[in-house]
Amino acid sequence: MNLFLDALAWLTDPAHWTGPGGVPTRVLQHLAITFAAVTAAAILALPAGVLIGHTRKGAGLVGAIAGAARAIPTLGLLTLLGLALGIGLKAPLIALIVLAVPSVLAGAYAGVQNVDTAITGAARAIGMNPRQIVFQVEIPLAAPVLIGGLRAATLQVVATATLAAYTADFGLGRYLFSGLKSRDYAEMLAGALLVAALALLLELLFAAGQRLAAKRIAAPAHEKGAAESDSPREKEPV
């Protein structure tokens, strides 16, 4: 396991922790583009997903869009956008948003759709209007699954954000590309370990968030039923 020892040596070398190409800067850049992509995807996809889950119309369309989007090779999208938009962060950011949308959309849609119709029926019976039903009943009850979608999207984006270094001096992907191209596999593996650590950290944060949502928002009495078992990603991470 020489390679791993070399990577650890690389990581513990103080020279790699300072300056504009240092680990802290790259980690922050990586987090920033991940956050930007997932946030943008959420702004685009959450309302649509909730609406579709609420009306229960257009589910087939969601499946088709999500399936097609998942089939797009991110590397291809990135190069095509790169040719159109030039270097910089625009191309990778758009590619990452496209990557994140299906998971966010599906999480929102599945979460809301899986809310027991008896509950929404009761809410209507006590005089809530559709707007109140969506915001005060469906979204809170859907929160664990909805966050599960965001969590899956974040995991994908944080691992794929390394591609940003294909067209920009940005993020942890720089270590991967320059390590690959100059056969400095220790640098490359160190970059990978940093990305994996970042992913693990975000996973734990999301897991905690989901637990909180399940306990506080989606009501402790709510049975661990269909909504939970349906999504493979929203359970205990580790």
Interface with other proteins in residues 126-165 (CB under 8 A) = 145, 148-149, 152, 155-156, 158-160, 162, 165
Q: How many residues bind other proteins (CB under 8 A)?
A: 78
Backbone angles phi, psi at 225, to 5 degrees: -105, -140
Q: Does 166 bind other proteins (CB under 8 A)?
A: yes
Q: Which is nearer to other proteins, 6 or 132 (CB)?
A: 6
From 167, 210, 214, 222, residue interacting with other proteins (rule: CB under 8 A): 167
Q: Which is nearer to other proteins, 1 or 126 (CB)?
A: 1
- Separation between Cα atoms, residue 96 and residue 211, nearest integer Å: 27
Q: Does 63 bind other proteins (CB under 8 A)?
A: yes
Least distance between other proteins and beta carbon 127 (Å) = 29
From 118, 127, 129, 181, residue interacting with other proteins (rule: CB under 8 A): 181
Least distance between other proteins and beta carbon 211 (Å) = 15
Least distance between other proteins and beta carbon 79 (Å) = 4
From 36, 169, 212, 217, residue interacting with other proteins (rule: CB under 8 A): 169
- Separation between Cα atoms, residue 228 and residue 222, nearest integer Å: 10
Q: Which is nearer to other proteins, 127 or 232 (CB)?
A: 232
Q: Does 192 bind other proteins (CB under 8 A)?
A: yes
- Separation between Cα atoms, residue 29 and residue 20, nearest integer Å: 11
From 11, 48, 77, 98, residue interacting with other proteins (rule: CB under 8 A): 77
Distances (CA, A) of 93 to 76, 88, 166, 181: 14, 9, 12, 23
Q: Does 209 bind other proteins (CB under 8 A)?
A: no
Pattern 10-49, other proteins, x by CB under 8 A: ----------------------------------------
DSSP labels, 44-78: HHHHHHHHHHHHT--HHHHHHHHHHHHHS-HHHHH
Q: Which is nearer to other proteins, 79 or 132 (CB)?
A: 79
